Structure 1
């Protein structure tokens, strides 16, 4: 296949991350050209403060060096600013006259520092803090001058102030709100942060409006709206960002605050996409790393013509170190957004924790001083977990002992949210690949390579893996029952490594305390033996019928007239689904329902699998539950054909069979795994087909004589 031409405007984190994802999916699909207006390769802008503070060199924050572009065959033009997009003829042109034609175009122009209308802001000695050149300017000023002022008490402003302190400058921070980081913290955590930073040498001017920059040709100080003044040789402005959209706007692409995109990152012009800080999705322009990376993954699949889960937005969160102080914030934390569900303060350890709720659902969290619970709390916010889940999270936190905290984490819990790296991936990198340091794990898995906020927890997992080895995998999970110390994960692993003829042999070999087991463990062992043996081994599969949940019940609601006009065949799809699941053992009884349209709902959203006809095709839902607690099924995909709908449903059931614990209902498994991870797996065509094959699913038959099984109810 002839390669298409892909042009990327912007060599920042969002655009290049999308290119990385494209290469993972289809490395031969495009000839790629990237334009960047800085004279250097892709680097981690979030770590600029580390360079300013002297903790890192510029080389240390480079994400992809020059050789990476060469190895991938990417044409990189640095120091080039694109000034024109000709959407009709499909080419871009730079200020220097370079021209590149494209079949697909990604706009990833990012954002610039927002400069408020302060009198004298154009004077020498007034700078922003957005790139490496700004870092160099600040370091040069520190060699000549003594006093600095930072306008802006948000994250970036505080990091700049910390860097200026390290450079030996007296530093004042001016903030127009009553407390610091007011978008991420509440008043109490902000007050704790202020006291800590004051001890480090910063001075704060809160609730102050800057009226002008004093001095003739260069900055000499600041005058507030009250008339008070403050001396300063260097003024750093850090009050927010402004998406770079002039190029898109002048090219006829729809813009609002940023470039308007849909759920697949498409702009108003066909073949033109936008991603990152310059993109506005459902009225929101994100400035955090994780949402930008999530957008990049969706866009990569779209641009490679692969099925993609739509981007539906992100939970805003930040896990970071502010001048050496660990801080975590996620979701809705302001008083007008949610109520307080949990609030604790430890004056001895200097730690603070607040969790918010609305309507009985966890909505947000703040951690100060100890962010070890950050990833688990973020998971609760993303899953919209009930507040009752907080008790389990608190029980698992284990205080300040990092070893206990890591041991209590499920293996599939996300540690690095920016790059979606879970605990087990880090453990495997250490145990199986022989890695020894956090830096080696970062290079291999990308964990902590973006914002760096998760680095303490990554380091804790690495230490845990080095100390405990394979025994640390899933070691914290509760035992199946009192007959054994093995968790479900360890029991499955033990059964997978052996060929037990029956549960009695398994219990004997695995050192069961009660020779005959109990009602809790016997069916679990039956199930795992059946699950982990080849499908063809019917004697073992049927042997598990007595105590395991075998088979799938399917309900079908049809409307012949509607089906004829829409081209659906719910009977055929229902029969094929029943045939695929009738002999399979499941962790819990499985129920599915299929209906030809939304006017015949049939409880699609409250069954384990629910499939309904819609204008775009079959909509497939999973993990609904009609009894207490009532759970609404989650949309896992839309299929244009009957065979693809069957493929989605069977693959989802097989994933549930393989990953759930025996006795764990599908809705609880999906809450634990997370709908985003499940969708990503099912949208991977090869993985989806592999799951369907492992389930032994027959291809959808078009024969009219297909039988209706006894587990099918047709109306």
Structure 2
């Protein structure tokens, strides 16, 4: 039976999470989505292009109506959720519907922040945030001529550019002394302002609006210094505020947004938050790339896949502001950082600045030419030393040079996590020749569009045949991890070295392999004992625990969980009898690492077979045998090993799997890691080979049992 997943919010973050879930485990959830807007999922970032007339609404739709239907998703478009009942696990909608959930994801996003200015509620005052806002602005062209945008940030400048395109006067009011003061410095902002003034915008900087004049409809603005400005359309673009009313009303912990942990879990079990409505480590992000990073982590958490925690994002902007390429990342202020690189080209109208803190990259600004953006973003994210930040003096095309120098595994489209290698393969292997084809195939540049120049350069690079070995870096080899400080050997090397040495004593092994400590240590001693025991099949001379000086392999490292009272062998009923039989077979076995095993009436039972190392679940056809689950974070769902018609065959299959793990695993390697390393298909082939399975079962019966030490 599928779990019921309800997502409140049909925006970019929530749907990105759903997309990732469908990639990982499309059969896991019955998915229901509620969205307040009566539209399918669309790219909000592209509204400014729609306002300018560059694209139509259909061009910015990310997932059309058919996508929901094809994936079995129930979409309630234009329906608002009015209440959440965490105790009963229900959501209540404004249309009267009541929907149950097992897992709830809040992706409610944010709304435009309307500052407390007198008259802000008058007709002719609006925000620029939704599809409806965009349509209203377009419809205003017939009755309005003088438009004012309050806010000199990214959104405000894009809104002003759209208003110019619609034939209106566009004046921008900003309370700071220069534009985009959170992303740019005075120099870059001055260059941007000069270009936008050339396009027709008028700026009023260091102005604080105190009143919107007019009786019922807006007629103008009055500022704190007493000056006034006429206007018949006023656009608020001063920021956003997370939509957290639902979260607060149902008792979730909130601050500026819904407070979440490193796995996007809110303060009530079963509820998660992602996107602009989520506050992680005190930060609520409003840019696309961090929201998509959160969505990918949350999808893995919900699907029970291994994932590292979400630890936060380096805030950066890489956008085309009214026709001008601008990039900003990290800390570009004056406090705590110093300027390491500053270049201005007055002819090309390009500007570059890199800041450092403690000798490492802290922030960067690019204006006019953003070809170095991927490399600088990586430098800031990794905190690279300033000596690695080379100055660009190449005479070739900067974007083409940057595309050729980029490592294959480096991310080009941060919004959709698309690498250079993926784009090159789309051209050279899959035959996609145009930018549009590559975008549809890989999703690169389909969100904010800021990576479009680099995508174009990579397509040209692939088409030219110059994308060959030597132009990209190979992925770094995995770091070698020795067993302990007594040796330089890894577990795989130690296990191979011990092969055939079962007639040796442990001290002879240590001497033969050049151990730094004559008697080893508490880490390597049990590992050597275990690997020596593996050689029992070629000789009977080794007793694995005969020498207490070297410690022992802990026996009985299996924890059993089962439904029902314990019975004796197959004579018991159902899972209780099967659990008793397995306990009898496995009792006292030495193992590479502790495991948990469960036998249950089904996959959704208190025994939770899907988060156990080994799990057997009753089903209509007999028994399902699972392996590789994990209950701790990150939670991992067990993989289906096979089906068995009878209890005895299920016990044989699970026991053969356990013995294969004992033979192949490295000491202290969890079963789930071994399964991931060995490969599910390979394990299945071994267990379903009649000869191999019989051999494994016979080996386990003859396996040396642990000898108690004193």
TM-score, length basis structure 1: 0.70
Match of 1:168 in 2: 167
Relative distance call for 1:690 and 1:341 in structure 2 (3 A) is farther
Is the partner of 1:382 in helix, strand or coil?
Answer: helix
Select between 155-164 and 446-455 the one with higher mean Cα deviation. 446-455
Structure 2: gaps spanning 5 or more residues = 478-495, 497-512, 535-593, 595-632, 637-657, 684-695
Q: CA deviation at 1:458?
A: 0.6
Alignment of 1:59-208 (within 5 A): 59-208=58-207
Q: For 1:442, which of 439, 443, 446 is the aligned residue?
A: 439
Counterpart for residue 666 of structure 1:
none
**Alignment partner of 1:405 out of 399, 402, 423:** 402
Tell me by how many angstroms 1:476 deviates.
Answer: 2.5
C-alpha contact 1:307 1:684 (8 A) present in aligned 2: no
Equivalent residue, structure 2, for 1:34: 33
| Residues 151 and 236, structure 1, Cα contact 8 Å, conserved in 2 | yes
Q: Give the unaligned 5+ runs of structure 1.
A: 478-486, 493-534, 536-550, 561-568, 581-612, 614-636, 652-682, 707-715
Larger Rg: 2
Contact 1:465 1:472 in 2 (8 A): yes
Match of 2:450 in 1: 453
Q: In 1, are the aligned partners of 2:530 and 2:667 still within 8 Å (CA)?
A: no
Q: Is the 8 A contact 2:306 2:634 kept in 1?
A: no
Q: Distance in 2 between matches of 1:345 and 1:559?
A: 61
Change (3 A) 1:64 1:579: farther
1:469-500 Cα distance to aligned partner (Å, 9 max, x none): xx4134425xxxxxxxxx979xx9xxxxxxxx
Query: Are the equivalent residues in 2 in contact too, given 1:648–1:688 (CA < 8 A)?
Result: no
Contact 1:554 1:574 in 2 (8 A): no
Cα deviations across residues 497-551 of structure 1 (Å, max 9, x unaligned)? xxxxxxxxxxxxxxxxxxxxxxxxxxxxxxxxxxxxxx9xxxxxxxxxxxxxxx9
What per-residue deviation string (whole Å, max 9, x for no partner) do you get for residues 370-427 of structure 1?
Answer: 0011011111111221112112xx4597664433222222222211111111111101
Following TM superposition, where does structure 1 have runs of at least 4 consecutive aligned residues deviating by more than 2 angstroms?
394-405, 473-477, 551-560, 569-580, 637-640, 646-651, 683-694, 701-706
Q: Per the alignment, in what secondary structure is the counterpart of residue 421 of structure 2?
A: helix
Q: Which residue in the other structure is 2:363 paired with?
A: 364
In the other structure, the counterpart of 2:231 is 232
CA contact (8 A) 2:304 2:635 kept: no
Distance (Å, rounded) in 1 between the aligned partners of 2:29 and 2:294: 19
For 1:251, the equivalent position in structure 2 comes to: 250
Retained in 1: the 8 A contact 2:149–2:170?
A: yes
Secondary structure, aligned partner of 1:277: helix
- Answer yes or no: is the 8 Å Cα contact 2:412–2:454 preserved in 1: yes
Once residues 370 and 126 of structure 1 are traced to their aligned partners in structure 2, the CA distance between those partners, rounded to angstroms, is: 36
Alpha-carbon contact 1:151-1:239 (below 8 Å) kept = yes
**Residues 35, 76 of structure 1: 8 Å contact kept:** yes
Match of 2:53 in 1: 54
Q: Which residues in structure 2 correspond to 1:504-515 (within 5 Å)?
A: none
Task: Work out the CA distance in 1 between the residues paired with 2:215 and 2:64.
Answer: 42
What is the CA–CA distance in structure 1 between the aligned matches of 2:514 and 2:61, rounded to whole Å? 52
Q: Say whether 1:473 aligns with 2:472.
A: no
How far apart, in 1, do the equivalents of 2:234 and 2:209 lie?
Answer: 11
Distance 1:264 1:43 in 2: 26
Q: Distance in 2 between matches of 1:475 and 1:365?
A: 28
Structure 1 residues 61 and 576: CA distance shift in structure 2, 3 A: farther
Rounded to whole Å, the distance in 1 between the matches of 2:208 and 2:356 is: 33
**How far did 1:693 drift?**
8.5
CA distance in 2, matches of 1:292, 1:263: 13
The 2-side partners of 1:187 and 1:473 are apart by 42
Offset at residue 685 of structure 1 (A): 9.4
Match of 1:417 among 395, 414, 418: 414
CA distance in 1 between partners of 2:109 and 2:514 (Å) = 50
Alignment partners' CA distance in 2, 1:263 and 1:132: 32
Equivalent of 1:429, from 426, 429, 434?
426
Q: 1:32 to 1:344 in 2, by over 3 A?
A: same
> For residues 197-232 of structure 1, what are the alpha-carbon distances to aligned partners after superposition, in whole Å with 9 as ceiling and x for unaligned?
000000000000001111111011111111101111
Q: Are the structure 2 counterparts of residues 390 and 95 from structure 1 closer, same or farther at C-alpha, using a change threshold of 3 Å?
A: same
8 Å contact 2:89–2:102 — kept in the other structure?
yes
Q: Is the 8 A contact 2:533 2:704 kept in 1?
A: no
Secondary structure of the 1:63 match is strand
Contact 1:396 1:405 in 2 (8 A): no
Change (3 A) 1:58 1:639: closer
- Corresponding position of 2:373: 374
Distance in 2, matches of 1:167 and 1:16, equals 32
Question: TM-score under structure 2 normalisation?
Answer: 0.70
Q: Specify whether residues 476 and 68 from structure 1 end up closer, same or farther in structure 2 by C-alpha distance, changes over 3 A only.
A: same
Q: How far apart, in 1, do the equivalents of 2:519 and 2:298 lie?
A: 36
Q: Is the 8 A contact 2:68 2:74 kept in 1?
A: yes
Q: CA deviation at 1:337?
A: 4.0
1:586 is matched with none
Could you tell me whether the CA contact under 8 Å between 1:396 and 1:408 is conserved in 2? no
Q: Is the Cα contact below 8 Å between 1:175 and 1:209 reproduced in 2?
A: yes
Q: Distance in 2 between matches of 1:312 and 1:425?
A: 25
For residues 685 and 49 of structure 1, the distance between their equivalents in structure 2, rounded to whole angstroms, comes to 50
**Residue 364 of structure 1: how far off its partner (Å):** 1.1
Secondary structure of 2:63's counterpart equals coil
Say if 1:111 and 1:648 are closer, same or farther in 2 by CA, change over 3 A.
farther
1:386, 1:147 → 2: CA distance? 50
In the alignment, is the contact (CA less than 8 A) between 1:650 and 1:692 conserved in 2? no
Structure 1 residue matching 2:191: 3-state secondary structure: helix
Secondary structure at 1:178 match in 2:
coil
Question: Partners in 2 of 1:448 and 1:684 — Cα distance?
Answer: 36
Q: What CA distance in whole angstroms lies between the structure 1 residues aligned with 2:393 and 2:443?
A: 26
The two structures, once aligned, show a CA RMSD in angstroms of 3.7
